[in-house]
C-alpha cells in the first residue's frame, strides 16, 4: 500500500505516493491524471526491489499550482524531477513517464543524463525537436482545430472542463481508450470551431473494466481546484521549443524503453508513426524494439498493467544488474 507525504522542491510543494525500498523509480503521470494513474505499478515494482515514487506533478492534485503560466515550462518540470530525486536523498534514479510525463522523463534524461540511470516513456515517443514552433505547425495543418490550439485559448477549455469535472474525466477516459471508435479509426483529436471539445465526445453508460467508478472518484477529487494548472503545460509548448534550442538534434543516450498502444491517438499524430518506426536506428540507447500493445488505447499502464509491469520490471531489473556487475 502506497504511503503519502508532501515534499518541498524548487520553491513548491509536491504531493507524492511511495512504496518499497531499493533504487529509486520516479513515475510521472500525464493529462488529465494524477499519481493514482500508477496504482497498478506500485506493488509489482516494489516487489521487484525498487523504491517507487509517483508525484502529483505541479499544477495537479494536492501539489502546488503556480499562477504564472511560464512556471510550467519543460525546464521547470525537469527541475521538479531533479529536485525530487535529491530531496528523497538519492543522487540518481530511474525515470518513467506516461503522456505529458513521458516528455518530462525524456527531457530529464536528455538534460541531466548524469542522474538518470534509465528512462522509459509510455505513449509519447522520445523527443526529436522540429524546425518550427509546434503550435503553428498544428494550427496550419488542421485549421486551428487541433486540441493543442484549443487548449491555448485563455480560459476556454478551463471553463468547459471545470463545469462538471466528473463528466469531463469520464468522457476523456472513454474517448482515448482502446475501446473507443475514435481510437480504433485513428482519428486526430480535433475541436470544431465554435464548439467545446466535450460536446463531440460520447458519454459512456458503462466505464471500461480497467477504470472503475472508484478510480473516477479519486481522479475527480484531484481536479476539485480546476484544470488550469494542467492546461498550462500545453500553454508552454512553443516556449519549450524555444528553451530547448540548445538540444536541437540531441538524442537521449541513457538506456531507454518505449511502450505504446496500437489504438493510442498520440502515436498516430502526424509524423509520429514514421518516428516510431525509425526509433531503433535514430536512438541507439533504446534497449528493445518499441513495445506495441495490441488493442491498447492511450491509458497504457492502466489499460494493460500486466504487460506494462512486465516490460518495466524486466527493463529496470536488467539495468540494476548491470550496475552491480
- Which of these ranges, 57-71, 176-190, 203-217, 223-237, has the smallest mean pLDDT? 176-190
In this predicted structure, what is the pLDDT of residue 182? 63
105 neighbors 118 (Cβ within 8 angstroms): no
Summarised one tens digit per residue, pLDDT across range 294-313 is 999 999 999 999 999 999 99
What phi and psi values does residue 295 have, to the nearest 5 degrees?
75, 10
The set of long-range contacts for 186-192, using a CB threshold of 8 Å and a minimum separation of 24, is 186/265, 186/268, 187/265, 188/142, 188/146, 188/265, 188/268, 188/269, 188/270, 189/146, 189/147, 189/265, 190/142, 190/145, 190/146, 190/147, 191/145, 191/146, 191/147, 191/150, 192/145
Q: Terminal CA-to-CA distance of the chain, rounded, Å?
A: 32
- Does the pLDDT of residue 183 top 60, yes or no? no
Mean per-residue pLDDT for 170-188? 83
**pTM of the prediction?**
0.97
- What residues are annotated to the active site? 99, 298
- Residue 186's pLDDT is 62
Tell me the mean pLDDT in the region 181-205. Answer: 85
183: domain CATH number is 3.40.50.1820
The stretches of 127-164 forming alpha helices (DSSP H) are: 134-142, 147-151, 156-162
pLDDT at 97 > cutoff 80: yes
What is the arithmetic mean of pLDDT over 100-121? 98
Provide the residue range defining the domain that includes 172.
3-324
**What was the pLDDT predicted at 187?**
78
pLDDT band at 325 (very low <50, low <70, confident <90, very high): low
Per-chain mean pLDDT for the chain: 96
Q: How many domains does the chain have?
A: 1
- Extract the runs of DSSP E, i.e. beta strands, from the chain: 3-9, 12-19, 24-28, 51-55, 93-98, 116-122, 256-261, 291-293
pLDDT, tens digit (0-9, with 9 covering 90-100), for 5-44: 999 999 999 999 999 999 999 999 999 999 999 999 999 9
pLDDT at 33: 98
Is pLDDT at 174 greater than 80 in this prediction?
A: yes
Over residues 278-288, the pLDDT tens digits come to 999 999 999 99
Amino acid at each position: 500500500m502506497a504511503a503519502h507525504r508532501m515534499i518541498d522542491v524548487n520553491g513548491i510543494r509536491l504531493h507524492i505516493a511511495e512504496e518499497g525500498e531499493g533504487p529509486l523509480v520516479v513515475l510521472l503521470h500525464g493529462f488529465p491524471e494524477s499519481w493514482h494513474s500508477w496504482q497498478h505499478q506500485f506493488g509489482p515494482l516494489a516487489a521487484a526491489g525498487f523504491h517507487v515514487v509517483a508525484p502529483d506533478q505541479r499544477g495537479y492534485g494536492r501539489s502546488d499550482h503556480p499562477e504564472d503560466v511560464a512556471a510550467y515550462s519543460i525546464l521547470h518540470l525537469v527541475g521538479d524531477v531533479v529536485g525530487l530525486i535529491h530531496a528523497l536523498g538519492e543522487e540518481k534514479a530511474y525515470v518513467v513517464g506516461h503522456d505529458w510525463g513521458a516528455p518530462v522523463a525524456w527531457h530529464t534524461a536528455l538534460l541531466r543524463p548524469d542522474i538518470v540511470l534509465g528512462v522509459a516513456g509510455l505513449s509519447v515517443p522520445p523527443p526529436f525537436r522540429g524546425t518550427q514552433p509546434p503550435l503553428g505547425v498544428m494550427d496550419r495543418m488542421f485549421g486551428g482545430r487541433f486540441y493543442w490550439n484549443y487548449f491555448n485559448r485563455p480560459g476556454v477549455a478551463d471553463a468547459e472542463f471545470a463545469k462538471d469535472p466528473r463528466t469531463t474525466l469520464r468522457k476523456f477516459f472513454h474517448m482515448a481508450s482502446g475501446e473507443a471508435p475514435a481510437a480504433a479509426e485513428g482519428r486526430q483529436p480535433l475541436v470544431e470551431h465554435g464548439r467545446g471539445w466535450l460536446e463531440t465526445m460520447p458519454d459512456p453508460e458503462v466505464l471500461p473494466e480497467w477504470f472503475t467508478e472508484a478510480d473516477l472518484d479519486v481522479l475527480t477529487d484531484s481536479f476539485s481546484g480546476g484544470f488550469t494548472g494542467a492546461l498550462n503545460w500545453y500553454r508552454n509548448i512553443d516556449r519549450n521549443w524555444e528553451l530547448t534550442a540548445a538540444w536541437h538534434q540531441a538524442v537521449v543516450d541513457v538506456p531507454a524503453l518505449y511502450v505504446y498502444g496500437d489504438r493510442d491517438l498520440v502515436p498516430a499524430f502526424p509524423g509520429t508513426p514514421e518516428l516510431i518506426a525509425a526509433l531503433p536506428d535514430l536512438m541507439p540507447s533504446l534497449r528493445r524494439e518499441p513495445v506495441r500493445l495490441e488493442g491498447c488505447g492511450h491509458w497504457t499502464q492502466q489499460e494493460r498493467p500486466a504487460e506494462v509491469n512486465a516490460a518495466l520490471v524486466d527493463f529496470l531489473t536488467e539495468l540494476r544488474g548491470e550496475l552491480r556487475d
